[in-house]
Structure 1
Amino acid sequence: MTASRTVELEGHIIDSGMMQQAFGIVMDMGGNFDVEEFEVGTHKEAESYCRMAVFADSDSDLQEILHELHQIGANLTDPVDAHLEAAPADRVVPTGFYSTTNHPTQVRYRGEWLDVENIEMDCAIVIESGDGEHEAQGASDGSSGDDESPRGDPRAYTKVLNAIREGDLVVTDEAGIRVDPPERPRDSSGPFGFMQGGVSSERPSESLIRQVADAMKRTKEEGGKILVVTGPALIHAGAGDELARLVREGYIDMLSAGNGFAVHDIERGLYGTSLGMDMETLEHPRKGHKHHIYTISEVIRAGGIAEAVDDGLIEEGVMYECVRNDVPYVLAGSIRDDGPLPDTITDSVEAQNAIREQAHEADMVLMLSTLLHSVAVGNCLSSTTRVVCVDINPATVTQLLDRGSSQAIGMVTDIGTFIPTLAGTILGEADEESETVEDAEEVDADDD
C-alpha cells in the first residue's frame, strides 16, 4: 500500500537550491514525487512556488521523508492542528515527538498559527492553552501538568529534554507545523549581505573584517546585542587588550567563555603571563607555572571576579572591563578546570541554561577560537541570528556549520590578527570621526 502527502515550497526556492534539495531527499530515501504545480518567479524580487505530492511504500517511510523535508522548509499543505500528546513523565517526551530545527517555526493550535518562542535546534515544542486546561490529543487518561497554565493567549515554545515535565502538551508528528528557513540574499549588498554561510581562508581577510565591523556597527545602531564566545587562545595570541577595548567602547554586550579564558585574562593582568608564558618575551619565567594557580587563589580570596575588581586586585583586561561596564558574562565549567574561579558555573545543566538565556538575547554572535563553546552556543541560536566564527583551525568552523548553524560565516585566520584589526577598523573610524568633530568645533570657536 502506498502512502502519500502533499507538501509545498515557496520563496526563492530555485536559486537557494531548496527545490533541488527537496527532490533529492525524496529520491534518496526511496520515495517518489509528482509536481502538481510550479510557478517560477520572473524577476529579482519575485518568489517561486512548488506543490508536490510525495509517495512512499509505508506510513513510517513517508513520515521519515516528511521529517527531512521539514528541515529545509517544505510544509504540508493541509491546514490541520498540530498533534499533541502529554509527556508521560518528567524528562520523557512522547514517542514520535517533533524535534525542532533552528529555523523560525509556527504551530497550528485551535485553528490559529502560533509563533514558537525561543526557537533552537533539537528541542521539543510545548503548547500552553492559555485557559488553564491541558487537552492532549490521543491521551486516554486526560493527564495534566504539575501546574495549570495561566489564563491568557495560548503560546508555543521550545523545551530541552531536562525541562520537560509530566503532562506537558508536546507536539508530535509534522502536521500543523510550518518552518521558514532564512533565505540567502541574492547578492552581497547591505551590511549583512556577506553573511551567506560557508568557510573560507581564501577571501581577503581585511575586506571581510571590514564587513564584520560594519555588521557590528549596524547591529548596535539598530539597538541589537552582540555576544562574544571565546576561548583562552585569544589571550595566548595577544588579542586580550583589543577585545577589552571593544568591551569598554560598548561594542560587546555579553560574554560567554570558560574558566580558562577568565583565568588567563586575569593572570595576564596580574603577572604579565598566560599559563606561565611571558606575553612580551614569549619565554617561561622562573616559577611562572605557578601564576595560573596563584591567580585562581587570589580571586577566590577576594570572593570573586567583581570583588577582586572592587578591591583593586584586577585592574585591566577583558573581565575587568566586563565588570566595570556591566557587561554580563557566563563562565561555563568543565572537567579540565583548575580551581575553578568562584564565578564559574560548575553544574552543567545550570551552565546550559545560562548560555541559552544569553543566546536567545543575541542579535549577532562572534565565536572566537573555541570549538566546544562555539558548538554549545550555536546549538542554542536561531538561524536568524548573525554568526561569525573565527579560528586558525578550519575544523572548528566546519564542525559548527555541520552541526546545523548554517547561517554562520567561517573565517580561517589567526585570532591574534583578527581582533586587533577588527577593533582598529571599528574604533579607528570612530576616533577619526570624533577628531573631525573636535576640529570643527575648534574652528567654530576661533570664528567666534
Structure 2
Amino acid sequence: MTVMRTVELEGHIIDSGAMGRCFGVVMDLGGEFEVEEFDVGRHKHAETYCRMRVSAESADDLRAILHELNQNGATVADPRDATLEAAPDEQVVPAEFYSTTNHPTFVRVDGSWVEVSDPEMDCALVVDRTEDDPVVRTKVLNAIEKGDLVVTGETGIRVEPPERPRNGGSSFGFMQGGVSSERPSASLIEEIADEMRAVRDEDGTVLVVCGPAIVHSGGRDALAELVREGYVDALSAGNGFAVHDLERNLYGTSLGVDTESLEHPRKGHKHHIYTISEIGRVGGIEAAVEAEIVDGGVMYQCIRNDVPYVLAGSIRDDGPLPDTITDAIEAQDAIREQAREADLVLMLSTLLHSVAVGNCLPSTTKTVCVDINPATVTQLLDRGSAQAIGMVTDIGTFVPMLADELLEAHR
C-alpha cells in the first residue's frame, strides 16, 4: 500500500543545491514525488518555496526518505510536535532516536519551534521542561541520563543547512573552500588574517588545533608570536605537540633533530622522553614556566598570556605530560567546550585531532584546514562545515606567512 507525506522547502534552495539533492534522495531511495507548488525567488535576496508530495511503497521506506529529506532542510508540512520518549537507562536512548546533524536545528515542542542550543553532529536531542520555557539541547550518548526526554522519529524537527549566498562573498562563503595546492596562498592568507583581526576586534574566539609538524617544520616561533600578540584565544592539541614544543625549548631539537642544522645530536632520540620527565618532575607546564625551566615557545606563551589549552591524550602517547587529559570522555568534554566557544578554528597539520574538534563544531563555524597532504584537507572539509577554507601547503611556510601578515605593524 502506497503511503505519502507532503514536505516543504524554503530559502535559497536552488543556489545551494538543496532542491536537487532532495529530488535525488526520493528517487535514490525508491520513492516518488510530485511538485504541488513551486515559487521561484525573482531577485537575489528573494527565497524560493517548493511544496511536494512524497510517496513510497511502505511506511518504513517513507520514514527513511523523510529522514534524508530532513537532513537536507525539508520539513514535513503541517508539522506536529516532536515525539518524546524517556531514556530507559543511563547512557541508553530510546529506539528510533533522532540522530543530529551539526546544522542549526529547531524542534517543535508544545506548539512552538525551539532552537537547539549548541548543535553538534551524531548526538541525541533532549528536551528540558524544568525551565519556564522548554529548552532543547544536544547530548552525546554517554551523557544520557535515565528519564531524559529524548526526541524520536522525524516529526516536529526542522533542519536549516547553511545556504549559498547569491552575491558570492569571501573565501569563507558556502562550500567555496575547495582543495588545491595551486590556489593563491598569499591572497588566502590575507583573507584569513583579516578574519582573525575581525574576530579579535569583536572579542570573539580563535581556536587553533595544532599538530607536531608545526614544530618539526619550523612554524613554532611564528605561532608563539601569534599567541603572545593575542591572535590565538584557545589551543587544542595532543600530547605530542606540547612535548615537541617543550623539547625544542629545552634541547633545541624536535623528535631528536636539531631544527636549525637538521643534525641528529648524540642521544637526541631520547630528548622527547627526557622532556616529559623534566616537566613531570616539577609538576607540569605551568610550574616549569614559573620555575624558568621553560622560557619560550607556544606552551610558554599560553601560560604567560592566560590562553587556555586542552591536551588530549591517546593510546600512542609517551609519558604523557602531567597536563595531558588521559581519560577519553573527559578529553571529549573539554574539546567540546572549546569548540562551542569558537568563532574561527584553524586546523593546522593534524588530521585525527582536527577531526575530533570538527565533530564538535556547528556547521556555521568558520574553519581553516591546512596540511601538506590533499587527502587530509579534503577529509577535514568533509566534516560538515559550510564555511571552510582548505589549503594544501607546508605548515612551516603557512604559519610564518600568516604571522607576517598579522604582525607586520608590531615589528
State the TM-score bracket (shorter-chain normalisation). Answer: over 0.9
CA drift at 1:318:
0.3
Cα distance in 1 between the residues matched to 2:168 and 2:206: 22
Alignment of 1:3-82 (within 5 A): 3-82=3-82
Alignment check: 8 A CA contact 2:90 2:144 kept: yes
- One of 165, 169, 177 as aligned partner of 1:185: 165
**Please, which of 361, 364, 369 is the counterpart of residue 341 of structure 2?**
361
Three-state SS of the structure 2 residue aligned to 1:199 is: coil
The equivalent of 2:230 in structure 1 is 250
Query: Residue in 2 aligned with 1:159?
Result: 139
2:406 paired with 1:431 = no
**For 2:175 and 2:167, how far apart are their aligned partners in 1?**
10
Alignment partner for residue 292 of structure 1, among 265, 272, 278? 272
Deviation per residue, 1:216-259 (Å, 9 max, x gap): 11111222101000110111010000001111110100000000
For residues 386-406 of structure 1, what are the alpha-carbon distances to aligned partners after superposition, in whole Å with 9 as ceiling and x for unaligned? 001000011112112334334
Q: Aligned partners of 1:186 and 1:289: how far apart in 2?
A: 55
Shift of 1:408: 2.5
Residue 2 of structure 1, CA deviation: 1.0
> Does the 8 A contact of 2:94 with 2:152 survive in 1?
yes
Letter in 1 for 2:191: Q
CA distance in 2, matches of 1:413, 1:77: 47
Larger Rg: 1 or 2? 1
Q: Provide the residue aligned with 1:202 in structure 2.
A: 182
**In the alignment, structure 1 residue 329 sits paired with structure 2 residue 318:** no
Judge conservation of contact 1:379–1:405 (CA < 8 Å) in 2.
Answer: no
Give distance in 2, aligned partners of 1:288 and 1:250: 33
Aligned match of 1:115: 115
How far 1:21 moved relative to its partner?
0.8
Q: CA–CA distance in 1 between the matches of 2:191 and 2:167?
A: 14
Aligned to 2:93: 93
Over the matched positions of the two proteins, sequence identity in percent amounts to: 71
Correspondence for 1:436? none
Aligned positions, number: 411
Give me the whole-angstrom Cα distance separating, in 2, the residues matched to 1:89 and 1:199: 44
Bigger mean CA deviation after superposition, 41-50 or 272-281: 41-50
1:237 touches 1:416 (CA, 8 Å); kept in 2?
A: yes
Q: Distance in 1 between matches of 2:233 and 2:383?
A: 25
* 1:222-241 correspondence runs (5 A): 222-241=202-221
Distance 1:29-1:191 versus aligned 2 partners, 3 A rule: closer
- Return the offset for 1:189: 3.1
Question: Which position in structure 2 is the counterpart of 1:438?
Answer: none
Unaligned 5+ segments in structure 1 are: 131-150, 433-448
1:258-289 CA distances to partner (integer Å, 9 max, x unpaired)? 00000000000111100100010111111111
More displaced stretch, 1-10 vs 344-353? 1-10
Answer yes or no: is the 8 Å Cα contact 2:7–2:74 preserved in 1: yes
Over 3 Å counting, the alpha-carbon distance change for 1:194 and 1:181 in structure 2 is closer
Match of 1:350 among 327, 330, 349: 330
1:76 Cα deviation from its structure 2 partner: 1.2
Q: Deviations over 1:62-93 (max 9, x none)?
A: 11111111111111122311000111111111
Of the structure 1 ranges 356-365 and 186-195, higher mean CA displacement relative to structure 2 is found in 186-195
Counterpart Cα distance in 1 of 2:246 and 2:140: 34
* Other structure's SS at 1:200 match: coil
Gapped runs of 5+ residues in structure 2? Answer: none
Q: Which residue of 2 aligns with 1:389?
A: 369
Query: Structure 1-normalised TM-score?
Result: 0.89
Offset at residue 193 of structure 1 (A): 4.0
Instruction: Give the AA of the match of 1:66.
Output: L
TM-score normalised according to structure 2 size? 0.97
Q: CA deviation at 1:192?
A: 4.2
The answer to whether the 8 A contact 2:174-2:387 is kept is no
Q: How far has the Cα of 1:298 moved from its partner?
A: 0.5
Work out the CA distance in 1 between the residues paired with 2:61 and 2:171.
43
CA distance in 1, matches of 2:253, 2:178: 35
Partner of 1:169: 149
User: 1:7 and 1:152 mapped to 2: Cα distance?
Assistant: 31
**1:363-395 deviation line (CA, Å, top 9, x unaligned):** 110000000011100000000100010000111
Amino acid at match of 1:67: H
- Whole-angstrom CA distance in 2 between matches of 1:10 and 1:427: 44
